[in-house]
Amino acid sequence: MNPSIIREILKVTEKPGILSMAGGLPSADTFPVEALKTACDRVLSLNAKESLQYAASEGFAPLREWVAARMARLGLEVSPDQVLITSGSQQGLDLVGKIMCDVGAPVAVETPTYLGALQAFTPYEPIFTSLASDHEGPLPEAFARLAHDAPGTRFAYLLPNYQNPTGRVMSLERRQAVMAAAKAANVPVVEDNPYGDLWFDEEPPASLSSMWPEGSIYLGSFSKVLTPGFRLGYIVAPKALYPKLLQAKQAADLHTPGFNQRVVYEVIKDGFLDQHIPSIRARYKANRDAMAAALKQYLPAGCEWQSPKGGMFFWIRLPEGLDAMALLPKAVDANIAYVPGAAFYASNPDPRALRLSFVTLTPDLITEGVAILGRVLGEALEAGAQPTP
């Protein structure tokens, strides 16, 4: 789907007072304002000149060391030399696209997948090939088929934890099977993990990258655990690939703001996230519970969904004959918004899918919003389901 169409969709939902479950935004109530304020003041008092001058394209060395140490928790032993600080993980996607895509060469993605990745890769003109997927993510056998269906696939782009848009998580067994299949097919894996810290009851299994380190690129982000407004993410790459990524980074914007890197490092260096992230988890889990209960209570029979074990999204499949895109104007008229699922497919979009965020509204408003959604869907069903185009 054309990205500008998505922009139009989201603009439609920008209505004063609307109960929007459309955005991919974290809750602004989780931003650690006081800690950031103290850190800004400290950095400008102690290291003003260094933080305001041009800086290394690789990123701020202590932050790179912090990231490398953090990766060990995900089962991945890396050196700080393998860490590249990026301007959000969206830039990580752009740099990966720049050095790994070739015009007309295949890139494998999940079905469905993160829209922003499709947008980031598209300018490099790959051919997207969709990996057959189920409720746990891509199927291992889909990798074996790549050699035949999409020879020369440059990489597979995977989101193992609470995927955007489906909320699904890959089990340990699925991860092992997928990575063995990717390795056998010699298709590198780009692992995008913005939501891995946002688990509710149990930590997700080990990272994909830990299962094939020399064939994997890992993308991380501070957007969901601290703030997106500082635009800070990172790439962890095999040593052989690092110089090309670094060169692309330098060409793209010289470096990520040194001030932002130092402020975030100042906030997190003494273990702040170990207290902060659990508070986000508790908040999001309560919201998830509210949405799960409301969906059960208000959605008409025939709607299908899984309750996500982490992250920010429910993925709803509507009954036969309903079209999430066609219904959006009615939903906005009724004062709610969602994102039609069709936006998240590289090909063959599912018109019956839609994505709901449960993190930007309070539990009470989630209940109210889902009740309205149930009414809109119920009325559409009563009016006679239209054949989907």
| Near a copy of itself by CB under 8 A: residue from 5, 46, 48, 72 | 48
Q: Does 5 bind a copy of itself (CB under 8 A)?
A: no
Distance CA 168, CA 308 (A): 6
Burial (Cβ within 10 Å: 0-12, 13-18, ≥19) of residue 285: middle
Residue 348 near a copy of itself by CB under 8 A: no
52 makes contact with a copy of itself (CB under 8 A): yes
**Closest approach of a copy of itself to the CB of residue 361, in Å:** 15
For 18, residues 6+ apart whose C-beta sits below 8 A from its C-beta are: 332, 335, 336, 337
> Should residue 267 be labelled a site residue for a copy of itself when binding is judged by CB under 8 A?
no
DSSP 8-state code for residue 163: -
17 or 104: CB nearest a copy of itself:
104
Q: Alpha-carbon distance 252 to 30, whole Å?
A: 30
Taking the C-alpha atoms of residue 209 and residue 205, their distance in angstroms, rounded to an integer, is: 12
Peptide bond into 3 cis (omega under 30): no
* Burial bucket for residue 192 (CB in 10 Å: 0-12, 13-18, 19+): buried
CB of 43 to a copy of itself, least distance (A): 9
**Beta carbon nearer to a copy of itself, 103 or 240:** 103
Does position 231 bind a copy of itself by CB under 8 A? yes
**Minimum gap (Å) between residue 357 Cβ and a copy of itself:** 12
240 binds a copy of itself (CB under 8 A): no
Which residue in 13, 82, 87, 287 binds a copy of itself (CB under 8 A)? 87
Closest by Cα among 201, 208, 199 to 137:
208
The distance of closest approach from Cβ of residue 358 to a copy of itself in the complex, given in angstroms and rounded to an integer, is: 17
In the complex, minimum distance from the CB of residue 155 to a copy of itself, in angstroms, rounded to a whole number: 17
CB 27 within 8 A of CB 360: yes
Q: Shortest Cβ distance from residue 319 to a copy of itself (Å)? A: 33
Identify the residue among 141, 203, 253, 333 touching a copy of itself (CB under 8 A). 253
By CB under 8 A, residue 313 contacts a copy of itself: no
State the number of binding residues for a copy of itself (CB under 8 A): 56
Binding test (CB under 8 A) with a copy of itself, winner from 20, 82, 111, 256: 256
CA 204 to chain centre: 15
Amino acid making up residue 148: H
Asked if residue 28 binds a copy of itself (CB under 8 A), the reply is yes
In the bound complex, what is the minimum distance in angstroms from residue 29's beta carbon to a copy of itself?
8
SS3 for 178? helix
CB of 30 to a copy of itself, least distance (A): 10
Structure tokens at 367: 């209940």
CA distances to 99, 111, 129, 250, 306 from 146, rounded to whole Å, are 21, 15, 9, 33, 28
| Residue numbers at the binding site for a copy of itself (CB under 8 A) | 3-4, 7, 23-26, 28, 31, 33, 36-37, 40-41, 44-45, 48-49, 51-55, 86-88, 90-91, 94, 98, 103, 116, 119-120, 122-123, 223, 227-231, 243, 247-248, 250-260
